[in-house]
Structure 1
Amino acid sequence: MPEFSTRNPGPGYDGTAEMVRWFNHWLKDNDDSDDILNELDITLFVRTSLTTGRKLVEQALLESPMSTAEKENNDIDIDVLPYRPWIGFEAGSWLGMLTGDQRPYDKDCLVYDSDPTQETIEIIGFVNVSLQASTTAHLAHWFVRLEDVDVDDQVSLVTVGAINGAQLHTPPAYLEPNFRYTITIRLHFTTWTFLSGHRIRVAISNAMFASAWPTPFPMSTSIYLNPSVSFIDLPVVPPIYPSSIPPSFTQQQVASSDMLPQLFSASKPKVYQKHETDIGTTITFEQVTYELLSNGCFISGLLAWDFICSHLDPADVRWVTRARQVYVFDMHGYESIVDVPLKDDNERLYPNVDLSTRRHFELVTDLVKHSDQDYFYVHLKRQFLEKNDTVTCQQAMTFVFNGKHKRNCH
């Protein structure tokens, strides 16, 4: 979120202050916020890459932008996509995170490239995609990514959209195998500048692991390249020249001197990796965070998970998660979180202080979720541990839950 102090990449701005001004005017009739009516209607950051762009403001809301459709010319071709439920790591663990080169993902997808652009093309808005598709199974997901292929063939993710095939029916229902469906997908709102010489790419897949739980049936899907029903509609806008000098982005700009790590909050770098064998793919994640509150409470947290997908059975998926939170009180006298010494062990969650004189406790959560073709299974265990030191447990409270849920169009 923009109000986080560790804003990288920028631009940095105070999103919280902007929301407070808006609510003060419209919900509290605060006269001090009347100037909000005199501001420009739109402030946009139009991206030229994943981390760069330009600021753009307009006096009035944009009307429906001009659109262009990139269509295949052959109305009889059919492209077949084998289902690989374990692909998608390169698109991130959640939609919207900063991503890298998409080529390792694209090699297992259906990709369609335009010719190199002869001029700069700028898009602002929602990207709409229409597909005529079929599947050999009762259920399939479709993921569509809009990408930018630069002159060195580096591929950047611009925006993405997805649909569970069961949502083509109302109410949701399983698909009819080998039936041709017309699927419309609205990709997330975006801004982007395709520079001259770049290619516009559309990549289609049936999996985006680990953002989405895979569908359970072996299958293949087909895309029918009929230009009347299979196309992409880009919200292309003509060259826009600001009607005035853009204000700070937004109106509450954060000074560069303030764009530093918080004194009382810190973390280790996130670990996000893929491990692949002939029989399965595992995505691993680990993060450790630290907080030092003004009342002298030290809090550390570990979140780690493994997301495992079989290459032999798409229904065999497992998510194994472990979380630990440590609370230590009476941690006074430290000017910042970096001054707190940590015990030299593998996880480095406890401060290296005399714990026998300080109240402290630990909350541990273990969660396993796995699936087969018929059910989801959940195993949850939570423990509250109050300790005399890092080893001796004075009191333990444990909660255990085991359950299963019938798969229904998932």
Structure 2
Amino acid sequence: MSVRIEENIWITMSDGCRLGARLWLPETAHENPVPAVLEYIPYRKRDGTRGRDEPMHGHFAKTGYAAIRVDMRGTGESDGHMADEYLKQEQDDALEVIAWIAAQPWCTGAVGMMGKSWGGFNALQVAARRPPALKAIITAYSTDNRYTDDIHYMGGCLLNDNLWWGTIMLAYQSRPLDPEIVGAGWRERWLERIESMPFFPALWLSHQRYDDYWKHGSVCEDFSAIECPVLAIGGWSDSYTNSVPRLLEGLKVPRLGIIGPWGHVYPQDGVPGPAIGFLQEAVRWWDHWLKGRDTGIMNEPMLRAYLEDPIAPEGTRTFTPGRWVGEAVYPSANIQPHSFYLASDHRLAERPGGQADLSIRSPQSHGKAAGEWMGTGCVGEMPTDQRLDDGSALVFETFPLETEIAVLGAAKLHLELSSDAPVAQIAVRLSDVAPDGRVRRVSYQVLNLTHRDSHEQPEALEPGRFYDVEIVLNDCGHHFLPGHRIRVSIATAYWPTIWPAPYPATLTIRTGESVLELPVRQNGAASPKIAFEPPAHGPLAPTTQVDPGAIRRYSLQDHVTGETTYVTEGIGGLFGEGILRFDEIGTQLCHSLKRELTIRDDDPLSARYVLSQSYEMGREGWIISVSTRTHMHADRDNFYLSGTLTAFENGELVIEREWNEMIARDLV
């Protein structure tokens, strides 16, 4: 089917704001209208996501859909300003966009919405607003709870990626409007955009508990608000996976889930592999719900999940061995809890053992083997051999297994514990110990113990008092093979993933009744054969690789000062993509960022975090560059965040911004 691409069209909102859109349209759509698929995100259709958009939306257009990629208000060439993530204004605009699309002469009136990450979030949020023309959504790598499962907090602990993402947003939102699209007024509007930009990481840090700020846009508050069918996608190497089982359980509409081994990339490009024919699967979904064709998609199991086999714990992984299984409904009766008790001899035992009080105070640098909070398919990002961290943790493990144990879902650890400090953290890892001794992390979770009962109303710990605490680990799918051991590791810090508690706490774990519950998929459980087509793509965007870029990840320990420094650096490309030029528009992109996180093992207040970033884009005669530097440290009472931003046009400084924020610690 022939496809026509419109580089930019304007969609005018009721308040006069124009949103820029890129449209892939079957040539015959004006004579024979087609359904539409909308992706609505802030990452710049013109150049930011062009390489990803072209083959995906081009494929949809070739299969009989109008594919439309819209930049949100205040992003790309769209008018206005973006003040924050997931605002009501963002949703209101989406409702108008969907109504506009449905009314176009080339559209049948049926609209689907899809997206990954931000686009997956707002697909759920907009579905909960129930626009009449929205008939189905696909949400990939998103969450139903903005507090527990986004890039800001985890288990009530502050993720260090809050500053990383906030710093990236400073650069992203400082990118200029393209004069080839908006004309002579681009420069004035660009400077206005930078002047009005908030200091994103401080904005999010000012909400340290699950308050109304986070409840807005968290569809878990009312699953019944979503009345259209939902296809939810997750990846075990990604950080946005827990929402898939929760959506399957909480929604009442027709729904399906697919969880593969991938990081934060669409499954047709999935890394670690195997990638799948996700675009064909999406078309099956759209054909069923937007065209009324019986494609068999709703005969698939409610959950299709990849059970991973053991693999060496190396930082770079391009493929994960395993197999696909299907559960007709989820939660599934095929998956039942299997208990292992924490014993006084550090065993995970089938029956409760003797009671003992075992204590742990980890060095503050514990967590160096964690890898990235969010995998994206980069080199060096995966968790490495957990023996590096297990020496500073309290470890319990089984004897070598005699039979296979297949785990699918969320493991739970029930602990009886006490702390010697009023604010403390716990980091729990579930690992697979191979016969040769290497240890691969299968799942993990962190918990701010002041949030043990509630993320809305945290309470300080009473030192010395024992509490019953449940830690729900991240969902996982894994085969523990005969001869392997199951290991649980408990620590009091997880740097550089989370910011440390204000005290170097010692936790005491009481064995005997403390128990690990694994979601074990029963041996012999019936599973239909799960098969996906090979990955397919539409035509690629013509692109020149100007420079391959580089990725560096390392940690250093100073044995004089006791300071550990953890460094990651993307040179030329934030995620290893290097310096690219989109040939059709002549625009070249270069994005570099360096993170430096330092801490001393004996002092959580020694933590320091510095990010240095540069973003350059443009073409001959129009070169824009933005540099940022952000810094964070804390004392027992406050967080201190600072940042600077400088922007240049053709080498000349045009604007500077500076931020300095002090934010009170709220039991974090």
TM normalised by structure 1 equals 0.83
Instruction: Return the letter of the residue paired with 1:285.
Output: T
Using the alignment, how far apart are the partners of 2:544 and 2:535 within structure 1? 19
2:268–2:278 CA contact under 8 A, matched in 1: no
Aligned equivalent of 1:320, options 587, 610, 615: 610
Instruction: Please report how far the alpha carbon of residue 15 of structure 1 lies from its aligned counterpart in structure 2 after TM superposition.
Output: 4.3
Bigger mean CA deviation after superposition, 309-318 or 238-247: 238-247
For residue 191 of structure 1, what is the aligned residue in structure 2?
477
Instruction: Return the letter of the residue paired with 1:141.
Output: Q
3-state SS in 1 of match to 2:388: helix
Aligned equivalent of 2:590, options 285, 294, 300: 300
For residue 340 of structure 2, what is the aligned residue in structure 1?
70
Instruction: Return the letter of the residue paired with 2:565.
Output: T
2:268–2:279 CA contact under 8 A, matched in 1: no
2:522 pairs with 1:238 = yes
Using the alignment, how far apart are the partners of 2:300 and 2:585 within structure 1? 41
2:325 pairs with 1:56 = yes
Aligned equivalent of 1:45, options 298, 306, 320: 306
RMSD of equivalent CA atoms: 2.6
Instruction: Please report how far the alpha carbon of residue 182 of structure 1 lies from its aligned counterpart in structure 2 after TM superposition.
Output: 0.9
For residue 383 of structure 1, what is the aligned residue in structure 2?
646
3-state SS in 2 of match to 1:104: helix
Instruction: Please report how far the alpha carbon of residue 313 of structure 1 lies from its aligned counterpart in structure 2 after TM superposition.
Output: 2.0
Aligned equivalent of 2:570, options 279, 284, 287: 287
Using the alignment, how far apart are the partners of 2:542 and 2:494 within structure 1? 34
Instruction: Please report how far the alpha carbon of residue 401 of structure 1 lies from its aligned counterpart in structure 2 after TM superposition.
Output: 0.6
Change (3 A) 1:162 1:32: same
2:367 pairs with 1:88 = yes
Using the alignment, how far apart are the partners of 1:148 and 1:60 within structure 2? 28
For residue 403 of structure 1, what is the aligned residue in structure 2?
661
Instruction: Please report how far the alpha carbon of residue 126 of structure 1 lies from its aligned counterpart in structure 2 after TM superposition.
Output: 1.1
- Could you tell me which runs of 5 or more consecutive residues in structure 1 were left unpaired when the two chains were aligned: 331-357, 388-392
2:567 pairs with 1:309 = no
Instruction: Please report how far the alpha carbon of residue 241 of structure 1 lies from its aligned counterpart in structure 2 after TM superposition.
Output: 5.9
Instruction: Return the letter of the residue paired with 2:333.
Output: E
Using the alignment, how far apart are the partners of 1:200 and 1:207 within structure 2? 21
Change (3 A) 1:60 1:6: closer
Instruction: Return the letter of the residue paired with 2:326.
Output: V
Output one character per residue of 1:79-121: Cα deviation in whole Å (capped at 9) or x when no partner. Answer: 1102322110101131665212100100100000101111111
Bigger mean CA deviation after superposition, 196-205 or 53-62: 53-62
1:150–1:197 CA contact under 8 A, matched in 2: yes
1:267–1:287 CA contact under 8 A, matched in 2: no
Bigger mean CA deviation after superposition, 104-113 or 77-86: 77-86
Using the alignment, how far apart are the partners of 1:24 and 1:214 within structure 2? 49
Instruction: Return the letter of the residue paired with 1:291.
Output: L
Using the alignment, how far apart are the partners of 1:6 and 1:327 within structure 2? 25
Using the alignment, how far apart are the partners of 1:232 and 1:243 within structure 2? 26
Change (3 A) 1:241 1:80: closer
2:278–2:535 CA contact under 8 A, matched in 1: no
Q: Is the helix fraction higher in 1 or 2?
A: 2
Instruction: Please report how far the alpha carbon of residue 219 of structure 1 lies from its aligned counterpart in structure 2 after TM superposition.
Output: 2.4
Instruction: Please report how far the alpha carbon of residue 372 of structure 1 lies from its aligned counterpart in structure 2 after TM superposition.
Output: 1.4
2:284–2:295 CA contact under 8 A, matched in 1: no
3-state SS in 2 of match to 1:11: coil
1:95–1:211 CA contact under 8 A, matched in 2: no
Instruction: Return the letter of the residue paired with 1:271.
Output: R
Bigger mean CA deviation after superposition, 44-53 or 101-110: 44-53
For residue 160 of structure 1, what is the aligned residue in structure 2?
444
Instruction: Return the letter of the residue paired with 1:126.
Output: A
Change (3 A) 1:205 1:246: same
Change (3 A) 1:133 1:15: farther
3-state SS in 1 of match to 2:477: strand
- 1:1-400 map, 5 Å: 1-3=264-266, 7-15=270-278, 18=281, 22=285, 25-26=288-289, 29-32=290-293, 34-50=295-311, 51-61=320-330, 62-63=332-333, 65-71=335-341, 72=343, 73-94=352-373, 98-170=382-454, 171-227=457-513, 230-240=514-524, 243-248=527-532, 252-254=533-535, 263-264=543-544, 267-278=548-559, 279-288=562-571, 289=573, 290-293=579-582, 294-330=584-620, 358-387=621-650, 393-400=651-658
Output one character per residue of 1:282-318: Cα deviation in whole Å (capped at 9) or x when no partner. Answer: 1101002123223110010101010111234211211
Output one character per residue of 1:158-212: Cα deviation in whole Å (capped at 9) or x when no partner. Answer: 1111211111244112211111011101111111111111111000111111110
3-state SS in 1 of match to 2:512: coil
Instruction: Please report how far the alpha carbon of residue 261 of structure 1 lies from its aligned counterpart in structure 2 after TM superposition.
Output: 12
- Could you tell me which runs of 5 or more consecutive residues in structure 2 were left unpaired when the two chains were aligned: 1-263, 312-319, 344-351, 376-380, 574-578
Instruction: Return the letter of the residue paired with 1:231.
Output: V
Change (3 A) 1:326 1:41: same
Kindly indicate whether structure 1 or structure 2 has the higher relative contact order, using CA contacts under 8 Å at least 6 residues apart. Answer: 1
Change (3 A) 1:262 1:15: farther
2:612–2:630 CA contact under 8 A, matched in 1: yes
3-state SS in 1 of match to 2:632: strand
Instruction: Return the letter of the residue paired with 2:369.
Output: E
3-state SS in 1 of match to 2:659: strand
Instruction: Please report how far the alpha carbon of residue 31 of structure 1 lies from its aligned counterpart in structure 2 after TM superposition.
Output: 1.3
2:362–2:393 CA contact under 8 A, matched in 1: no
Change (3 A) 1:101 1:362: same
Change (3 A) 1:291 1:144: same
3-state SS in 2 of match to 1:89: coil
2:367–2:494 CA contact under 8 A, matched in 1: yes
1:93–1:210 CA contact under 8 A, matched in 2: no
3-state SS in 1 of match to 2:604: coil
Instruction: Return the letter of the residue paired with 1:286.
Output: E
Change (3 A) 1:216 1:244: closer
Change (3 A) 1:2 1:364: closer
Bigger mean CA deviation after superposition, 295-304 or 44-53: 44-53
3-state SS in 2 of match to 1:398: strand
1:85–1:215 CA contact under 8 A, matched in 2: no
Using the alignment, how far apart are the partners of 1:406 and 1:193 within structure 2? 44
Using the alignment, how far apart are the partners of 1:151 and 1:113 within structure 2? 13
2:265–2:271 CA contact under 8 A, matched in 1: no
Instruction: Return the letter of the residue paired with 1:385.
Output: F
Instruction: Please report how far the alpha carbon of residue 143 of structure 1 lies from its aligned counterpart in structure 2 after TM superposition.
Output: 1.1
Equivalences, count: 369
Bigger mean CA deviation after superposition, 88-97 or 321-330: 88-97
Instruction: Return the letter of the residue paired with 1:44.
Output: A
Using the alignment, how far apart are the partners of 2:295 and 2:616 within structure 1? 46
TM normalised by structure 2 equals 0.52
Using the alignment, how far apart are the partners of 1:24 and 1:165 within structure 2? 47
3-state SS in 2 of match to 1:373: coil
